[in-house]
Amino acid sequence: MANRTIYTRVYSPSSAGQLTSGRGSTGRPLSEHEILTYFPKHADRENRIHTPFVSVSSRIVDTIQRAFQKLESGESPADIWVVFIEVLADVGQTPAKLHRAQDLAKRCLLRKRQNSSHLNEPSKFQHEVVFEWGIPEDYILHQVSLRTLIDRELPVHQASSTMELRDIISAAEFQGACPFDLGVSLGFFARGFGARAPLGWIAHQLYYDCVRTHVEWDSQMVDLDYGNGHSERVDFDFFCLLDHGVDTALLDWWLDTSDFARQYEEFDNWRNDREEDNRYLMDFGEAWTREKIEAEAVRIGL
C-alpha cells in the first residue's frame, strides 16, 4: 500500500489516557494559543497535569524501549500494550487533529512560552506526533501485549535510552551481517507482532531506526552508519537482498504456507460458529466470546 503513514504507541494502566488524552477523549479543536500553552506541559516528563494530547512515535525502536521501561518499573507485561496507528487521507477515516511535536516545540520557543526550557532542542521531538484528545478508533491497525511479544521470544536488550538501544541492536544484529540473513532476522522480529500487524513496515523501520543511511548517487553506493563508531559502504544490491530476506521470512516461510492457510481457515470457521452462538447469549456472553476469539487469534499468530 503506497504512502502508508504508521505510528506506534505503548500504553498501560499507568498511562494518562491510554488511547485518549488525560483530559478526556473528545473536545473542540484547540486554538493556537491552547496548543502552545498545553504542549510545554505535555512535553515535560516531570509534569503531572493532564493535557489534551496523546503522543505517538514514527519509530518502532521508541516503542520497544518504552514497553520494557514500563516492565522494569514493575508493570505486568499482560497490561502493557503496543498499538499500531495508520493514518490514511483517502479512505474516509474520522478526521483527527494531529501535530508534529518538533514543529510545536519550535513554535513554543518562537513565542517564548513560559516553562519551555526543556524544548530548547526541538530535534529531540522529530519522531513524535501528538493527537488532540485521542486516537480515533478507525485509525487503530493492531494491538499486541508485551506478554504475547515475550512469549513469542521478542529479543530483549537492556538499555537506559532509545539511543543506547539503537546502538546495542546495531552492534548485535546488523553490523557486518549478510544482507539476506539480516532480512530474515528482521522478518522474524516483525512476525512476533502477529499477522495483523504492519509486518513489512516493522521489519524495515527497525533497520532504519538503528542504522543511518546516506546515498551517494554518483557512485551508486550507500554509507551505513551503525552509530557506535562503525560504518561500511554497500551497493544497492545489499537492500535488494535484505528485502528478499524479509519477504522469505514473512511470506515463503509463514503467511504463504499451506500450514498457515489451514490454521487460518480452521480459525475463521471456528470464529464464525462462536459468533453465531453468541447471538443466543446475554451481553456477558458477547464479551466472553470476544476474549476467546482474540486468545485463539493470538495462539495461531494473528
Domain ranges of the chain: 5-146, 155-256, 259-299
Beta carbons within 10 angstroms of residue 152's beta carbon: 16
Higher-pLDDT residue of 286 and 125 is: 125
From the centroid of its chain, how far is CA 295? 21
Q: Is the pLDDT of residue 290 over 90?
A: no
Share of the chain above pLDDT 90, in %: 57
90 grid coordinates: 483517502
Q: Is the pLDDT of residue 44 over 80?
A: yes
Task: Specify burial of residue 115 (Cβ count, 10 A radius: 0-12, 13-18, 19+).
Answer: exposed
Q: Is the pTM of this model over 0.85?
A: yes
Q: Is the pLDDT of residue 243 over 90?
A: yes
Which of 3.90.1170.50, 1.20.58.1610, 3.20.20.210, 3.90.210.10 would CATH assign to domain 5-146?
3.90.210.10
Higher-pLDDT residue of 291 and 254 is: 254
Q: What is the pLDDT of residue 116?
A: 59
Question: What 3 state SS string does the chain have?
Answer: CCCCEEEEEEECCCCCCCCEECCECCCCCCCHHHHHHHHHHHHCCCCCCCCCEEEEECCHHHHHHHHHHHHHCCCCHHHCEEEEEEECCCCCCCCCCEEEHHHHHHHHHHCCCCCCHHHCCHHHHCCEEEEECECCHHHEEEEEEHHHHHHCCCCCCCCCCHHHHHHHHHHHHHCCCCHHHHHHHHHHHHHCCCCCCCHHHHHHHHHHHHCEEEEECCCCEEEEECCCCCEEEEECHHHHHHHHHHHHHHHHHHHCCHHHHHHHHHHHHHHHHHHHHHCCCCHHHHHHHHHHHHHHHHHCCC
Higher-pLDDT residue of 1 and 239 is: 239
pLDDT digits (tens, 9 = 90+) for 98-114: 999 999 999 888 876 55
Q: According to the per-residue pLDDT averaged within each range, which of 16-30, 79-93, 229-243 is highest?
A: 229-243
Assign 196 a pLDDT band (cuts: 50, 70, 90): very high
pLDDT digits (tens, 9 = 90+) for 146-169: 999 999 998 877 788 888 888 888
Q: What is the pLDDT of residue 1?
A: 40
Q: Average pLDDT, stretch 68-74?
A: 92
107-116, 181-190, 289-298, range with the lowest pLDDT: 107-116
Q: What is the pLDDT of residue 221?
A: 96
Q: According to the per-residue pLDDT averaged within each range, which of 13-17, 227-231, 250-254 is highest?
A: 250-254
Higher-pLDDT residue of 25 and 221 is: 221
Q: According to the per-residue pLDDT averaged within each range, which of 48-62, 152-166, 266-280, 282-296 is highest?
A: 48-62
